[in-house]
Amino acid sequence: MSKRVLVGMSGGVDSAATAYLLHQQGYEVAGATFVLWSGEETEESKCCSVDDVEDARYVCSQLGVPHYVFNYKDLFRRTVVEPFVEGYRQGRTPNPCILCNRHIKFDAFSRRARELGFDYIATGHYARVTRDPESGRYQLRRALYPEKDQSYVLYHLTQEQLSMFLLPLGDYSKEEVRQIARDSGLVVAKKPDSQDICFVPDGDHAAFIGRYTGEAPKQGYFVDQQGTRLGPHKGIARYTVGQRKGLGISLGKTMYVSRISSADQTVTLVEDESLLFRDSLRAEDVSYLSIPPLTAPRGAEIRIRYSQGTAKGEIIPQEDGSVLVQFERPQRAPTPGQAVVFYDGDLVLGGGTISGD
């Protein structure tokens, strides 16, 4: 009897190719599309549109497999949108895609799949799952082609989730996936990839937060390192550590955001970019994925941004469950609210949320 797999389908080419490949491999496939956001607060913000649902449904009809639609709007609002809004209000730069993966695409989705009698879940992420033959522990690894690797946004997965998680795209390049979609006649073969935060398609997260909360941004000031006021700003949600463009103030010289304080609504600017570099950071809400929780320092390759390479460093576990990360060479602007992920070669050790120096 063939194993049953429920594929999370966004209406895009990656998830469609995932369903096709698993169907070809002999799995009993069904597709599931999540309704997460309908843009109630704004006319322009739309996620999981009717077109996306219909594209996923049409691909399933092409493959001759069932298609489900799951309404996760309330859960998405509670676990993704509200922490996103609150993070910016606290002077952080949250990553809503990681929150969505954690709470919706793997936690809620895997539990629903189990309830429906499926053996596995699958998505169109570019990463790989293996199993250590000695310990029996499931492990997450980078995609074979690093330019498309998405392991950074999956560091929070649990052993139970990994045990039922299929990632057929981890061995393919993006162009190979598109070619598979074209060769198999999938209707979404030429559909462009989405780039923006799904519920903020115009990229203006500060304006979204204002619309969502119905509140005007709090008054605050740009200050220099000595605390001297340089001029008013438009609300701390508009800024992130390391930023230099779009500050909205003319100072006659290039300056960089080095610190954001929600306590007094100040944004500290520095002229010397070298002041943004840090030789350490602290991370909270740490997940150990492919290894047991650390009890002693361990060397690792550290990644502090999705679009950035790794840097060598050491992970030092703390008594409260957080970690101190020490870099061999200082890194530019580790940003509170963003993820830090630990690697050993292509193996994802785990990760956490950057909380400060």
pLDDT tens-digit series, residues 94-138? 999 999 999 999 999 999 999 999 999 999 999 999 999 999 999
Whether CATH 1.20.1070 fits 217-271: no
Judge whether 48 counts as a catalytic residue. no
> Catalytic: which of 47, 48, 60, 100?
100
Instruction: Give pLDDT, residue 107.
Output: 95
Closest to 153 measured CA to CA, from 214, 103, 91, 202: 103
What radius of gyration do the chain's Cα atoms show?
Answer: 22
Is the domain spanning 277-356 CATH 2.40.30.10? The answer is: yes
Q: Please provide the average confidence, as pLDDT, over all residues in the chain.
A: 93
Contact present, 28 and 2 (Cβ < 8 Å): yes
Query: Residue 66: phi, psi to the nearest 5?
Result: -65, 160
Boundaries of every domain in the chain: 4-125+167-183, 217-271, 277-356
Question: Which pLDDT score, from 0 to 100, does residue 210 have?
Answer: 92
Catalytic residue flag (residue 100): yes
| pLDDT exceeds 50 at position 45 | no
Each residue of 304-346: pLDDT tens digit? 998 889 999 999 999 999 999 999 999 999 999 999 999 999 9
- Give the pLDDT of residue 43: 42
CB atoms within 10 A of CB 152: 24
Token look-up 């029996």 returns 136
pLDDT tens for 246-260 read 999 999 999 999 999
DSSP secondary structure code for residue 133 in this structure: T
Which of 47, 48, 60, 198 does the annotation list as catalytic? 198
Percent share of the chain, pLDDT over 90: 88
Strands (E), the chain: 4-8, 28-35, 67-71, 120-122, 127-131, 138-142, 165-166, 220-223, 229-233, 256-261, 266-270, 277-288, 298-303, 311-317, 323-332, 339-344, 347-356
Closest CA relative to residue 81, chosen from 167, 197, 181? 197
CATH class as words, domain 4-125+167-183: alpha beta
Tokens, residue 271: 């002229």
- pLDDT reported for residue 200: 87
- pLDDT for res 197: 79
Number of CB atoms found within 10 A of residue 60's CB? 23
Region 42-66: mean pLDDT is 79
DSSP secondary structure of 318-329:
-TTS-EEEEEEE
Residue 43: count of CB within 10 angstroms of its CB: 7
Alpha-carbon distance of 119 to 149, in angstroms, equals 25
pLDDT score of 1: 63
pLDDT (0 to 100) of residue 338: 96
